[in-house]
Amino acid sequence: MKKVLVLLIALTPALLFAQGWKSKTLITLGDNNISAGEFMGVYEKNNVQSDVIDKKSVDEYLDMYVNFKLKVIEAENLKMDTMPKFVKEYNSYREQLAKPYFSSEEANEQLIEEAYERMHWDINAAHILVKCDVNAVPADTLKAYNRAMEIRKRIINGENFGDVAEDTSDDISVSDTTVNGRFYKGNRGELGYFTVFDMVYPFETGAYNTKEGQISLPVRSDFGYHIIKVNSKTPACGTIRAAHIFLAVNDSDPEKTDSVVKAKAYNVYNEIKKDGSNWEVIVRKYSDDKGSAANEGLLSPFKVNQIVPEFITVVKGLQPKEISEPVKTNYGYHIIRLIATSGVKDIEDEHENIKKRVEKDMRAKVSEDVVLNRFKKENKFKEYVKVKDAFIATIDSTLKEGNYVMAEGVDTSKVLFKFGKQKYTIADFVEFIRENQVKQPFMSAGSYAYKLYDEYLKRSAFAYEDAHLEEKYPDFKLLVQEYHDGILLFDLMDKEVWKKAEQDTVGLENYYNAHKDEYMWGERLKTVYATVNHPENVARVEELVKTDLSMDSIRAILKAEEIRGVSVKIRYWQHGDNVDIDETEWKAGELRVIPSTVDKTTKIVRVLEVRDPEPKTLNEAKGLVISAYQQQLEEDWLNELKAKYPVTVNEKTLEKVKQCY
């Protein structure tokens, strides 16, 4: 063991020295030095570790890299990285790249898996609400909790849940009420059906964690405390497609009282039972839902939380194509025909959708808390609780009024907390308070101060982490640098090459004239080329093609004679452009009629002229000329940059780089 330790101690400096060469300068561009390690990092990412088909040798990539860095250095020296457009675009990219570092993948996956499991179940539940403001002081929170426990005790001891709900719940939908002259029947705490994401996350969790038929302990949400009774927990329907026959009840109309409509509904149902194929006729004949009656009673697709629970309960007992007996709701009687339910897709199909909903849901705070605790641990967070509590004790009602005035004698230099060596003082927190305070009539000054402090701490933690991402994560630093350089390069290339080539019409024309022989047409054939879709028109079109009439005249004749399905045009062809043309004898006056072997169309070709090879006009070759001119401009510009920032490569270091690959 001692020999091994001695050997390791002896080797360590040698190993460090062996790797130390990577910090040596490989390339010098003017006053700018680039280390071997920096070059190797970029080379490995783009050649060694990537799936690119055309992998570059070290020498090839070095030339490309030098040209790239010369342009970036020029852009930086022109202060293009300070331009508002660049800063905005760069910050936007960096923000997107940083997002993964500000979330917990593990926590997110757990939340996604939890949501997916819950998606498999529909819950029917009731609740009693004891209101308690989310920012209530501890004494008021405890009072609300104790009241909720007393209410729960009444139910556990045998009182009817609905009766207790009407007697105690702060949810106004519990009891009968009249609003603007319209009567609304109370729900006695019944919420109907719901599934994952339909309720606020704490309530959802409380419901899914309570067994069927049982009463939950008080569940805290932003609204207060909920006592939840789970009536049923059944396999999820997903999206439901159903049709119905609806018979409305109106007790003010003797012909539409409940008993009359109920009897009629069963008569309709019995008529359907006699002959199920008459569904469409019966829907049109009897349904009071005229909107759906015109479409066989079909309702828009819906989910369990979007329709009255009595309707859903019946749907859950049906098989596709099965028709229910009449079911009563607050609106009247329904005869329901189930078309289909979607159920739940595989996790692979649902994963992305669930992920997006988790990120927008209150669940995101769970992941955020995990990340915040990680930042605290990694960045050596230290909090001075006594300083915090002592300062908050000095805060008076001016804070809750939205116009905070600091008490006299407060030592604002005292430190509230630290991340690493960075200190956050009372003065910093006071500045945050003044920038973020709003009136809080329902909170105590102390409660609001603690809430603001928690937010300040969180923002500070995330800002500290953000400021040190490049330092902590070399891969992130490299990626951000690539985006930085890439944006600069695009802006500078646009200015010096791309737009210049398009806008410099004189330079473009001069370049074309100097390289005209590089843009040649091959031997070409000028033809009249007609396509005839109807065989009965071939003879007439052939007759017209043989003439020396202009295309406009031929088209005018075809229109006047109402000959349709004919396309006639004059165009040039090169060898290989068209099989019909290649098989035609290339001599003026040649005429071919070519019937299709697969359909009724016929092609007619008449050769007007055979043209020898000749240069393309600038307009004909413009795309190619612009591209070549851009390349020429870039080469000339790079030569200027190399003169401005002389390039030196350390050949010894380069050899060491090559040996690594």
Which pLDDT tens digit goes with each residue over 501-555? 888 899 999 999 999 999 999 999 999 999 999 999 999 999 999 998 999 999 9
Strand ranges (E), 170-239: 177-179, 182-184, 190-194, 219-221, 224-235
- Distance from C-alpha of 625 to C-alpha of 645, rounded to nearest angstrom: 30
Contact 398, 411 (CB under 8 A): no
Contact 268, 282 (CB under 8 A): yes
Backbone angles phi, psi at 538, to 5 degrees: -60, -45
| pLDDT tens, residue by residue, 554-606 | 999 999 999 999 999 999 999 999 999 999 999 999 999 999 888 899 999 99
Find, among 191, 202, 131, the residue nearest to 361 by Cα. Answer: 202
Are 121-235 and 520-615 the same fold in CATH?
yes
Distances (CA, A) of 453 to 54, 78, 292, 430, 467: 55, 43, 56, 10, 21
17 — pLDDT class (breaks 50, 70, 90): very low
3 has a pLDDT exceeding 50: no
Average pLDDT over residues 290-313: 94
Strand ranges (E), 346-409: 382-383
Tokens of 573: 């062809």
- Distance from C-alpha of 425 to C-alpha of 97, rounded to nearest angstrom: 30
pLDDT value at position 46?
78
16 has a pLDDT exceeding 70: no
45 has a pLDDT exceeding 90: no
pLDDT value at position 41?
84
Contact 334, 326 (CB under 8 A): yes
Q: How many angstroms from the chain centroid is the CA of residue 64?
A: 35
Tally Cβ neighbours within 10 Å of residue 492.
Answer: 18
246: β partners: 334
- Distance from C-alpha of 237 to C-alpha of 462, rounded to nearest angstrom: 41
Cα dihedral 475, 481, 487, 489 sign = negative
607 has a pLDDT exceeding 90: yes
Average pLDDT over residues 352-357: 92
C-alpha angle 246/248/249, rounded to 5°?
Answer: 145
DSSP string of 30-83? TTEEEEHHHHHHHHIIIIISS--SSPPPHHHHHHHHHHHHHHHHHHHHTTGGGS
134 — pLDDT class (breaks 50, 70, 90): confident
pLDDT value at position 276?
65
DSSP string of 574-634? ETTS-HHHHTS--STT-EEEEE-SSSS-EEEEEEEEEE--EEPPTTTTHHHHHHHHHHHHH
* Number of helices and strands in the chain (H, E): 26, 21
Distances (CA, A) of 243 to 294, 323, 326, 628: 11, 9, 13, 66
Average pLDDT over residues 281-289: 93
610 — pLDDT class (breaks 50, 70, 90): very high
- Distance from C-alpha of 341 to C-alpha of 193, rounded to nearest angstrom: 15
12 has a pLDDT exceeding 70: no
What is the b/e burial string over 412-436, where b = at least 16 CB atoms within 10 angstroms of the residue's CB? eebebbbbeeeebbbebbbebbeee
- Distance from C-alpha of 127 to C-alpha of 152, rounded to nearest angstrom: 11
266 has a pLDDT exceeding 90: yes
Residues 6+ positions from 227 with CB-CB distance below 8 Å: 127, 128, 130, 148, 151, 152, 155, 215, 216, 218, 219
pLDDT value at position 108?
87
pLDDT value at position 49?
55
Residue 644's identity, in one-letter code, is K
pLDDT value at position 55?
56
Q: Where are the domains of the chain?
A: 121-235, 240-341, 380-467, 520-615
Q: What is the DSSP letter of 211?
A: P
Average pLDDT over residues 180-203: 90
3-state secondary structure of 531: strand
Contact 433, 452 (CB under 8 A): yes
Residue 479's identity, in one-letter code, is L
pLDDT value at position 363?
87
- Distance from C-alpha of 58 to C-alpha of 649, rounded to nearest angstrom: 13
Tokens of 498: 């791309």
| pLDDT tens, residue by residue, 49-90 | 545 445 578 899 999 999 999 999 999 999 999 999 999 999
- Distance from C-alpha of 391 to C-alpha of 444, rounded to nearest angstrom: 15
Question: If one looks up domain 520-615 in CATH, what number appears?
Answer: 3.10.50.40
Long-range pairs of 497-501 with CB within 8 A, sequence gap ≥ 24: 497/630, 497/633, 497/634, 497/637, 498/630, 500/633, 501/626, 501/629, 501/630, 501/633
| pLDDT tens, residue by residue, 405-416 | 999 999 999 999
568: β partners: 530
- 209-218, 315-324, 352-361, 456-465: segment of lowest average pLDDT: 352-361
pLDDT value at position 475?
86
- What is the residue-averaged pLDDT of the chain? 90
Residues 6+ positions from 400 with CB-CB distance below 8 Å: 439, 440, 441, 443, 444, 445, 448
pLDDT value at position 500?
85
Contact 607, 584 (CB under 8 A): yes
pLDDT value at position 359?
85
Contact 492, 71 (CB under 8 A): yes
pLDDT value at position 566?
94
Token pair 């990539």 in the structure block, residue: 61
Contact 507, 536 (CB under 8 A): no
Region at 296 (left for phi over 0; alpha for psi -120 to 50; beta for the rest): left
2 has a pLDDT exceeding 70: no
- 98-107, 297-306, 451-460, 570-579: segment of lowest average pLDDT: 98-107
What's the topology of domain 121-235? Chitinase A; domain 3 (3.10.50)
Average pLDDT over residues 472-495: 90
pLDDT value at position 255?
87
Q: Based on the number of CB atoms within 10 Å of its own CB, is 441 exposed (0-12), middle (13-18) or buried (19 or more)?
A: exposed
- Distance from C-alpha of 40 to C-alpha of 99, rounded to nearest angstrom: 27
Backbone angles phi, psi at 601, to 5 degrees: -75, 155
CATH class as words, domain 240-341: alpha beta
Token pair 């669940």 in the structure block, residue: 363
